[in-house]
Amino acid sequence: MGHYQKVCPGVFQIGGGIYTDGDDCCIYLAEGSETAVLIDTGVGNSVGAIIDNIQATGIDINKIGYIIVTHGHIDHIGGLKELKELLQAKIIAHQLELEAIEEGNPRLTAAAWYGQDYKPVKVDRVLRKHLEYLSLGNMELSLIHTPGHTPGGISILGEIDEKKILFGQDIHGPFHPDWGSDKKQWRKSMLELLDYNADILCEGHAGIIQPAKSVRKFIQGYLNQY
C-alpha cells in the first residue's frame, strides 16, 4: 500500500520524509491532461516504494513521460537509472549537471556522503537557457535555471486553479566548494524566486510550505541567514 500527500489537484509528494527512505530528497509528481512528470528520484533505495506511491495516487505510471532532475546530488538522482527504465520516461536536466548525471563524477554527486554507488544515465532533454518550458497538456511548467547550491540547479513553476506552485529544491543550501556552490549566484536565484510570488512551495527537503506569505518567509529567512 502506497503513501503520499496531495499538495493540490494533480500534484503529490510521493517520496522523502515519511514516504520513502530517510535519505531521499522530497520527490514530487505532477499530472497534466496529456502527461505527468516525476521531479527527482531519491537516493536509490526506494524505487519500489516510489512506484507503489505513484500507483496509490491513482495516476497511471504509463502516463509519466518525464523525470525532471533539479540537480545532480545523489539524494536526487540515485534512483534515476532504474526509474527511467521502469517508467520509460525521458530525463530533463540542465547542461551544467551533466558531469554528475551522465558521468557520475563522485565529487559532484556527493555519493560518498550517503555511502551510495551511482549509476550514470543519459539525459534526453538538456536545458541550456535560463528559462525553458514543458507542456503537460493543460498545465505548462516553467523550468528556471537557479544556480547557487550547484551550478546547474533548476526550479520549476506551474499554475493550477490560479495558484502558483513552485518546486524549489534545496533552497536551504547547503553550500560546498566540491559541488561548485556559489552564494552570490544563489542569492540572485532566491531573489528571482521571490518575484514569482508562489502560493505553494514544494521544497527539496522541507516539504510543502503554504500559503504565499509562508513561502516568502521561508525563502527570505535563508536569504537573511546567508
Q: What is the pLDDT of residue 116?
A: 85
Q: Does residue 99 surpass a pLDDT of 70? A: yes
What does DSSP assign to residue 172?
A: T
Q: Does residue 1 surpass a pLDDT of 70? A: no
Q: What is the pLDDT of residue 114?
A: 82
At 30-80, the pLDDT tens digits run: 999 999 999 999 999 999 999 999 999 999 999 999 999 999 999 999 999
- Cα separation of 223 and 226, whole Å? 5
**Residue whose C-alpha is closest to residue 17's, from 146, 217, 208:** 208
At 168-226, the pLDDT tens digits run: 988 998 999 999 999 999 999 999 999 999 999 999 999 999 999 999 999 999 999 98
Q: What is the pLDDT of residue 170?
A: 85
Average pLDDT for the chain: 96
Give the pTM: 0.97
- 40 in the Ramachandran plot: left (φ > 0), alpha (ψ -120 to 50) or beta? left
**Residue whose C-alpha is closest to residue 167's, from 226, 223, 215, 110:** 215
At 156-168, the pLDDT tens digits run: 999 999 999 999 9
* Domain regions of the chain by residue span: 5-225
Answer for the pair 40, 66: CB distance below 8 angstroms, yes or no: no
CATH superfamily of domain region 5-225: Ribonuclease Z/Hydroxyacylglutathione hydrolase-like (3.60.15.10)
